[in-house]
């Protein structure tokens, strides 16, 4: 398995800004989801982030909520996702990280899910609703298997808490670039620059920004202050309302433009 700390450290040392597109598992369909992952890989993504649909999200805005609800209404099961990903993972040559709320993985079983991740060389996992102080609930399920548990900070995070999060995170730090939930924004919060600067005085771990990054211009500007860019809602927005016609070429073009400015 490609260890996430090794990959992200290498990207940073080579001054390559990481590009991480986000996709909701099985949205808009199983086959289309796989096609999106392949399109992202061929468009120059460094890491793929896959969201596990959940009925009660605290961090997702209307676009990702829509994609999760779409999938849940069609009978999404983690066990089916696992079987499907095993089939397509051999064609994915770049690292994959999972974004999930705690409840679905807790119910499925931390050890059981971590074993699936190890067997399929999935490099990391993000729990947006798991405070750093409560990480003990995970036990050694992920760490013992070399799977990175990725921490998150925000513009409101204080210096001492940033330090605690950095010390207890692997791979990279996810910087939430807005106050609020995911979504498409007209502009990036100016406080993100000072947040990134403060973090870099605390830790040398790669800092990747997500939430609200909507277009190549925003990505290019924000990339001056961080080590990587995560984009999700802007991708889902392209697909919304056209799930059955599935504009994969339009998504691919968008991904190439985002990669190009980085």
| Three-state DSSP state, 216 | helix
Active-site entry in 46, 49, 170, 225: 49
| Three-state DSSP state, 22 | strand
The average pLDDT across 52-69 equals: 82
Using CA atoms, how far residue 223 sits from 18, 255, 259, 261, in Å, is 9, 15, 11, 9
Please tell me the predicted confidence (pLDDT) of residue 180.
46
Of 160, 182, 179, 16, the residue nearest 99 (C-alpha): 182
Question: Can 227 be counted among the known catalytic residues?
Answer: no
Question: Can 49 be counted among the known catalytic residues?
Answer: yes
Secondary structure letter of residue 16 according to DSSP: P
- Residues whose CB falls within 8 Å of the CB of residue 240, separated by 6 or more in sequence, listed in order: 63, 66, 67
pLDDT band at 182 (very low <50, low <70, confident <90, very high): very low
Active-site entry in 60, 170, 225, 227: 60
**For strand 48-51 and strand 173-176, is the pairing parallel, antiparallel, or unpaired?**
unpaired
Residue 261 neighbours by CB distance under 10 Å: 16
The mean predicted confidence, pLDDT, of the chain is: 91
Number of domains in the chain: 1
Tens of pLDDT along 218-239? Answer: 999 999 999 999 999 999 999 9
Please tell me the predicted confidence (pLDDT) of residue 212.
77
pLDDT band at 192 (very low <50, low <70, confident <90, very high): confident
pLDDT above 80 (res 181)? no
pLDDT band at 185 (very low <50, low <70, confident <90, very high): very low
Residue range of the domain that includes 112: 4-11+18-261
Of 246, 256, 242, 231, the residue nearest 31 (C-alpha): 246
In whole angstroms, give the CA distance from residue 123 to residue 118.
8
pLDDT above 70 (res 6)? yes
In whole angstroms, give the CA distance from residue 169 to residue 183.
25
Q: Is the pTM of this model over 0.75?
A: yes
Q: Which of 62-71, 179-188, 211-220, 238-247 has the lowest mean pLDDT?
A: 179-188
Tens of pLDDT along 145-173? Answer: 999 999 999 999 999 999 999 999 999 99
Please report, for the domain that includes residue 94, its CATH number: 3.20.20.70
């Amino acid at each position: 398995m490609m260890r996430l700390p090794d990959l992200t450290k290498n990207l940073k040392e080579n001054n390559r800004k990481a590009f991480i597109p986000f996709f909701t598992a099985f949205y808009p369909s199983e086959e289309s989801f796989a096609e999106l992952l392949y399109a992202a890989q061929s468009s120059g993504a460094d890491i793929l982030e896959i969201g596990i649909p959940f009925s009660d999200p605290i961090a997702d805005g209307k676009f990702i909520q829509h994609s999760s609800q779409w999938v849940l209404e069609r009978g999404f099961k983690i066990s089916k996702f696992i079987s499907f990903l095993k089939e397509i993972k051999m064609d994915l040559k770049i690292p994959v990280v999972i974004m999930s709320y705690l409840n679905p993985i807790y119910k499925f079983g931390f050890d059981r899910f971590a074993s699936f991740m190890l067997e399929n060389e999935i490099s990391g996992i993000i729990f947006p609703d798991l405070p750093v102080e409560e990480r003990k609930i995970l036990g050694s399920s992920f760490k013992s298997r070399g799977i990175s548990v990725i921490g998150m900070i925000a513009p409101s995070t204080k210096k001492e808490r940033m330090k605690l999060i950095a010390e207890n995170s692997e791979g990279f730090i996810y910087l939430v670039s807005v106050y609020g939930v995911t979504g498409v924004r007209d502009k990036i919060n100016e406080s993100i620059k000072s947040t990134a600067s403060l973090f870099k005085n605390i830790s040398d771990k790669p800092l990747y920004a997500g939430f609200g990054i909507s277009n190549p211009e925003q990505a290019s500007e924000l990339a001056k202050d961080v080590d990587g860019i995560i984009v999700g809602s802007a991708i889902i927005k392209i697909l919304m309302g056209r799930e059955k016609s599935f504009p994969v070429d339009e998504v691919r073009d968008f991904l190439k433009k985002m990669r190009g400015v980085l």
